[in-house]
Amino acid sequence: MSQENVDIVRQIHAGNRSDRAADSLDEIISLFHPDCEFVSAMGAVDQQTYRGHDGLRRYRRDLEAAWTEWQIEIEEIFEPSPGTVVSIIRPHLVARESGIALVDRRATVTEFADGQIIRVSAHASRAEALEAIGLPE
């Protein structure tokens, strides 16, 4: 397992929270390749794809528009193959419109190229994430 890749994914999840300063966003973005792709279900109701560093900034604005609070709890994180990290996460969210708190469970697949994140995709479950990268549960 590449501990470095796992540590980077931990850093991304830890920094993706509503109480972090705006300057932490640039720190997070620096870990992503300029041509990255980020597929998320947290920014809005429907799954969205964000591309490049400007897309990551738009993702943050979408989070701020949809939620007053958000943070990610990591339940499990592992590297099933070189350059690919799977994390099972529990997003804790508070909706901006209703104030309703939501705790969800998701899985993410983070792919690396040349030491930077090239793609992140959100999945409904661990099994779905593993299937997306061609591995059995």
Q: Which of 64, 75, 80 is nearest to 13 (CA)?
A: 75
* pTM for the full predicted model: 0.90
Identify the residue with better confidence: 75 or 14: 75
| Helix segments in the chain, DSSP class H | 3-15, 23-29, 52-66, 126-132
* Span 57-84, average pLDDT: 92
Residues in the chain: 137
Mean pLDDT (the chain, rounded) = 89
Confidence of residue 20 (pLDDT cuts 50, 70, 90): confident
**pLDDT at 62 exceeding the cut of 60:** yes
Instruction: Give the right CATH number for 3-132 from 3.30.750.24, 3.40.50.261, 3.40.190.80, 3.10.450.50.
Output: 3.10.450.50
- Could you state, in order of their start, the residue ranges of all structural domains in the chain? 3-132
* Span 85-107, average pLDDT: 94
Q: What is the pLDDT of residues 28-52, one digit of tens each?
A: 999 999 999 999 866 445 678 999 9
Rounded to whole angstroms, the Cα distance separating 126 from 51 reads 24
